Amino acid sequence: MARLTVIGTRAVDRLIAVIETQAQTATRLAALRALEGIGDPRALDVALSLVDDADRAVVCGAVSVAQVFLRSAKGADVVDRLTRLALDTSRHQEMRLAAIQALSDLEASTLKPLWRALAQDANSIVRAKARAALPKKARRATLPQAIEAAARGELPDAAALKRAIADSDHSVSLALLHRVLERIREREIQVPPHQQAEWTATRAVVHLVLANRGSRLALYDLRESLEKTTKALPVEFLSSLSLIGDASCLEAIAAAYAKSGSTTTDWWTEHLAAVFREIVKRERITSRHVVSKRIAKRWGDAAKALQRNER
């Protein structure tokens, strides 16, 4: 492939012949990659015709070749063909995403109608890709629908949902955000262990959005998360507690503090102690309070350490 690319335009006709006569996917892909590197206009018609190929990998390779010519004299033809592929719900997700990725090279304003259409697509991953490509103002307009879909259990990937939640405003109701949090909790349990952290981070962002709006709808989940965790949670959990935490949260904080080892000075224990101190001050909890007594009885050393931090 490297040598053919160096040979350049003299190799184009034979590479096209290989694509048209060879049935082997690997061979056709290699020829397409060489044509992509050469960038000769003769390759465009072949690439556009292969967008209809039955082989998924070949279609993606053809899209990469066509992308080279997006700003050429035939750029309008390329945009038209890739747009039709991106919108075609009968095609495999991988092919549609390849077209979306290729078109993303163009200015977002040029393709705003396409991104708006795809932002309502039935495929959650296609929706997420399209919304990410929209200008920020336009992306905000699609957020309520995206969050409503997530509340129904139609979750995109964790990173896309996390961005949508973080960008949301008061047009997204607190009840809707709470339903999304519940769907995320369910997903966390279902995914493999190596994927759980990204869903936990997404749930943490929902908590912070709720807390910033003064909602205690999901305070129970903050408490449960602290009680069950054996490791540091995303900092948004603690930020949320500092905003809306009350006396009912102190035992959960003490439990997390005790499990982390009260003698350590890492950011997790320091922040736990800081949040504990903030809630105690805000709620005017004294050592004679029933919660303080329960903490002292159950987590003696941790309670003493927290009380030292409190002073």
What letter would DSSP give residue 234?
P
Give the pLDDT score at 311: 47
Give the 3-state secondary structure of residue 157: coil
Domain ranges of the chain: 1-106, 225-311
Residue 253 CA to residue 251 CA, distance in Å, equals: 5
- Tokens 């950011």, residue? 267
> Rounded to an integer, what distance in angstroms lies between the CA atom of residue 56 and that of residue 58?
5
- pLDDT, residue 147, reads 84
CA angle, 219 then 220 then 225, to 5°: 100
Query: Residue 215: which region, alpha, beta or left (left: phi > 0; alpha: psi -120 to 50)?
Result: beta
What's the gap between Cα 269 and its chain centre?
Answer: 28
Q: Which pLDDT value is given to residue 263? A: 47
299: nearest Cα among 246, 255, 249: 255
CA 75 to the chain's CA centroid: 31
Sign of CA dihedral 48, 51, 53, 57: positive
How much is the pTM?
0.57
**Any idea which architecture 1-106 has in CATH?**
Alpha Horseshoe (1.25)
Q: How far apart are the first and last CA of the chain?
A: 70
Calculate the CA 45 to chain-centre distance: 36
Q: What is the per-residue pLDDT for 216?
A: 94
- Ranges of residues in the chain with a pLDDT under 70 are 108, 132-144, 262-265, 307-311
> What are the pLDDT digits (tens) for 152-177?
888 878 888 888 888 787 878 899 99
Quick count: other Cβ atoms within 10 Å of Cβ 163? 19
